[in-house]
Amino acid sequence: MSRRSSPVIPGFGLTLGYTLVYLSLLVFLPLAGMFIYAAQLSWSEFYAIVSAPRVLAALKLSFGTAFIAALLNGVIGTLFAWVLVRYRFPGRKVIDAMIDLPFALPTAVAGIALTALYAPNGFVGRFAADLGITIAYTPFGITLALTFVTLPFVVRTIQPVLADIPRELEEAATCLGARPLQVFWNILLPALLPAWLTGFALAFARGVGEYGSVIFIAGNMPGKTEILPLLIMVKLDQYDYLGATAIGVMMLVVSFVLLLLINLLQRYVAKG
Partner 1 sequence: MSTTSHQNSRNAPSWARLALIIAAWATFIVFLVLPLAIVLIEALKMGVAHFFDSMLEADAISALKLTLLAVAISVPLNLVFGVAAAWCVSKHDFYGKSVLITLIDLPFSVSPIIAGLVYVLLFGAQGFFGEWLIEHDIQIIFAVPGIVLATLFVTVPFVARELIPLMQQQGTQEEEAARLLGASGWQMFWHVTVPNIKWGLMYGVVLCTARAMGEFGAVSVVSGHIRGFTNTLPLHVEILYNEYNHVAAFSVASLLLILALIMLLLKQWSESRINRQLNNGDE
Partner 2 sequence: MSIEVRQVHKQFGNFTALNNINLDIKAGELVALLGPSGCGKTTLLRIIAGLETPDTGSILFNGDDVSRRDVRKRNVGFVFQHYALFRHMTVFDNVAFGLRMKSRRERPSEAVIAEKVQELLRMVQLDWLSDRYPEQLSGGQRQRIALARALAVEPQILLLDEPFGALDAKVRKELRRWLANLHEDINLTSVFVTHDQEEAMEVADRIVVMNKGVIEQIGTPAEVYENPASDFVYHFLGDSNRLKVADQDIQFRPHEVLLSQVAVADHQPGIVRDIRPLGAITRVTLKVEGQDEPIEAEVPRDDVNLQGLTRGATLFFKPKAS
In the region spanning residues 196 to 225, those forming contacts with partner 1, defined by CB under 8 A, are: 205-206, 208-212, 216
DSSP single-letter state for residue 238 = T
Q: Rounded CA gap, 203 and 197, in Å? A: 10
- Asked if 3 interacts with partner 2 (CB under 8 A), we say no
Question: What span, in angstroms and rounded, lies between the C-alpha atoms of 225 and 118?
Answer: 16
Build a one-symbol-per-residue string for 87-106: x at contacts with partner 1 by CB under 8 A, - elsewhere. Answer: xxx-x-x-xxxxxxxxxxxx
Cα–Cα dist 85/87, whole Å: 6
Task: Using CB under 8 A, pick the residue from 39, 48, 109, 269 that binds partner 1.
Answer: 109
Is the sign of the CA dihedral 258, 262, 265, 271 positive or negative?
Answer: negative
**DSSP 8-state code for residue 185:** I
> Is residue 8 a contact point for partner 2 (CB under 8 A)?
yes
229 touches, from partner 2, partner 1, none (C-beta below 5 to 8 Å by class): partner 1
- Per DSSP, the residues of 101-142 read HHHHS-HHHHHHHHHHHHSTTSTTHHHHHHTT---TTSHHHH
Residues 63-92 that bind partner 1 (CB under 8 A): 76, 79-80, 82-89, 91
CB closer to partner 1, 115 vs 138: 115
Contact with partner 1 (CB under 8 A) among 33, 120, 190, 223: 33
Query: Which residue among 6, 42, 44, 121 contacts partner 2 (CB under 8 A)?
Result: 6
Query: Which stretches of the chain bind partner 2, using CB under 8 A?
Result: 4, 6-8
